[in-house]
A and B are shown apart, each in its own frame.
Chain A
Amino acid sequence: MSSISQDFAPPFKLIAPFFILGSFFYLISSLYVFSFNIEDLSFLNPEVLGFVHLFLLGFVMMIIFGAMAQLVPVVLEVGHFGVELFYAIWPLLLIGSVLMVFGFLFSPALLPYGGVIVLVSMMIFVMEIFMTIFKVEKLNLVMTSVLISNTFLFFGIIFGLLIALAYAGTINLDITSLLRGHVYLVVAGYIIVTIMGLSVVLVPMFTLSHGFSMRPLEIAIGLMTTGVVFVVISSMFNIIILEYLGYFLSAISLGFYFYLIYIIYDTRPRKENDVYAISLMFSYIAMLVSIVLGVLYFIMGSEELLLACGWVLFYGFFAFLITGHIYKIVPFLVWFERFSPLVGKQKVPMLADMVPYKSSQAQFIFSALGVVVVTIAILTKSDMLIGAGASFLVVGAVAFIRSLFYMINFE
């Protein structure tokens, strides 16, 4: 019998805080959108930087870290090195994220403190993942992607800390050039490479797809890794041609990745369009839209296009991929803890029974509308549409929190 992980399901109480906090950060990020002043929207605006850190650290990273506590053994096929370390990660990430957001909004002096706390939190996470990877005898492609993404995260947070120190005036560095490296290491190097690796395990698992080639993923990860390295080198040595080559390779990489996801989707035996399936469809369409907006930005040079590209990537691609997977991961963890001991003794629910239909659908519809309306608002510079989009997003986020608590408390 093949040896497979011994610890596939860590205790839910360990993972629950990540998901609960993450969902509240999603709501707060959505409320934050109301404060956007369309005329002042710019990538270096402290309000935008505060929003980006609120969303990425509080929501995206918080939920990815929690999900990794469960998914790492699934993907790496070995038990965690020290899963208890996750008890320390979320409080540090919470405090660090809040300090950083307040730092951007009110007092840059807080940034190094928040940055150091986030750094400690992420270092614990990265080291735990590295130590777990060391237990793997032979790395496959997906395991390699976890190694690559966490290496990028390691350097991404070092860059981030340097920027925080420079932003607060503690050290003297060129923030703008380092920022490119930081953003690319964290967003493309960590988040996107992690998504690429994990999704080719999770999506076929939930759709029952089989028999597809992993070659497109191999190419996608290779191109994205090269692209990230190029952009990071260019950010340190200001080599413009390398920077653009990095962006180009990243766009091609996403194309290969999308092709693989399309093949998995197209050959799936499980055709039901539940909230998971529609969330993923929206997510990947958002990814394509984001690429198109990014390409248009390079052709036309208008900052609105770049802002819209970032917005669709974050709130369309990342957010829907995350919320969609929450509807699979949380029921599994709750079921595993609460109902699996009752199998064979009494009737137990199926995982799909634990997902609230109305609130999950409401979450999808309102959040999707919000993403579309805010995108149009950014492109047309309409403050009124920003407010309308934010309203949809807030309703969607409330429905998401309601769905999450329904699944957590399912009896």
Chain B
Amino acid sequence: MTAVQKRVLVNKIILALSTLSAVVAIAFLFWILGVLVMKGVGALNWNIFIYEGAPPGYAESGLKHALVGQAILVGLATVIGVPLGILAGTYLSEYGKNSKLAHLIRDISDIMMSAPSIVIGAFVYAVVVMPMGHFSAWAGSIALAIIMIPIILRTTDDMLQLVPGTLREAAFALGAPKYKVIMDVVYRGAKAGILTGVLLGIARVGGETAPLLFTSFNDNFFTTNLNDAMPSLTVTMFNYAISPYADWQQLGWAAAFILSMFILGLNIVGRLILYFGKGK
């Protein structure tokens, strides 16, 4: 075998190995999705959207309570987290820039992004649930918002920095005050990126279970009271999945399927916005 033949052979082996690894990696995703679709679609029916939780054995049981609860928890977290995240990202990109404080905030935010979510749940338990004396939707949403903020903060910071400095200068050169430059020119230039960050942030917290366990806790019944424990798809899924009852397990599959599709959808939409927003 000549040296060239040997190199070609090594090349082929490496190519085959890396392709195989990529296939294995992505295979798990499709495996998970496949199982979810098979079990989840089978468990879907209209009752799920009409009825709330019921003891095992009742035909009229559904997930209405968890679906609405999930929407409230994530919606409230979005209302709290998005403005804070975007404003903090704006500070970093437009005001803090390369100052020590800005770098410190960026570093801390990166650390927060990788913090175990259950730790954030425990923290909210200590500072919100304990003083209030009971679980609440507020506590759950605050925990989710804390997880969401560093994601939105960082994407906002990154996306605003992509807006060319000359565009800012051009607005200043027309006599625009700084807040106008940011709102009219910088935000507009980065809106696709910021929106993507928001969607990815929502998708990230939408699948969280641990921080809800001891903040919003769970409930098997429909409620919209923010000062009460609130059901969520994730915790409901957890409870139903580990139960010994076949009908509860079915509901668990349905919850898993609905939640996964929601998060998958958000991720896809987020990426599409970024893709088409940049193309403009």
Q: A and B from one assembly?
A: no
- Which residues does A use to contact B, with CB under 8 Å? none
